[in-house]
Amino acid sequence: MLRIPPALTRRYTLSIANTEENNMNILLIGASRGLGLALAETMLQRGYQVVATGRENSTGNFQQLAGRFPAQLRVESVDINEPEQVKALHTRLADRQFDMLFVNAGVKNDDRETIADVSTEEFTRVMVTNALSPLRVIETFKDRVTASGTIAVMSSGQGSLTNNTNGNYEVYRGSKAALNMFMRSFAARSGGERTLLLMAPGWVRTDMGGPEARLTIEESIPNLLNTMESYAGRRGIHYLDYLGRVVPW
């Protein structure tokens, strides 16, 4: 179970009170580990109805949450890099409408690899998973999100062109910058009718973030969800960090 630091308790409690009454319906893509699994747990703790997905070989990671929140959690399997699986999930959820679609799925390559030495295959894997596939999910499921709902993706502060002053993590940075650009294009095409969020969770101690990261999951995820809740109904596209601060493009 997530343990919320004392400094966050009041804000977290207020959010629970605000959201339990709303019975929010969430589709959370890529939630079987790390930040996604923590986000699923936090949403369930706040009373949300959650459809959470993972790849077929990872859905067992939801077992503990399913036991604790049997009436709120539905688990589905999908590999977002397989368009036919995304379409099949859309069909299985034909009777559902969601207040939020959040696409969390993502990967990274070896931190030491630069554009000069990354293989074409590895570059393709990262770019497809982090940039192309999330937008394909959004395009497929946009009709399942209510007109006043939120479509969000897990971006990164490393996707900011302005803030890239020291290089490093070149391929991962590029994939998140591409994700941001694709979301800007989606926003332009969709006319700004919905709330679109690109969320930067901070550098968090997970398998992906590594042991040297500055934040714990408990410091990032409850605040990240607080920020998304506070932006509900604010139309247009917003690039924000977990504390609600605007990230420069």
Q: What are the phi and psi torsion angles at 29 (to 5°)?
A: -95, 125
How deeply is 43 buried, as exposed, middle or buried, from its count of CB atoms within 10 A (0-12, 13-18, 19+)?
buried
Task: State the Cα torsion 121-125-127-131 to the nearest 10°.
Answer: 160
Map out the domains of the chain with their CATH numbers: 25-241 (3.40.50.720)
**For residue range 101-129, what is the model confidence (pLDDT) as tens digits?**
999 978 988 888 999 999 999 999 999 99
Residues of the chain with pLDDT under 70: 1-22, 205, 207-210, 213
Q: What are the phi and psi torsion angles at 33 (to 5°)?
A: -160, 170
pLDDT for res 203: 73
Alpha-carbon distance 18 to 145, whole Å?
21
**For residue range 24-64, what is the model confidence (pLDDT) as tens digits?**
999 999 999 999 999 999 999 999 999 999 999 998 899 99
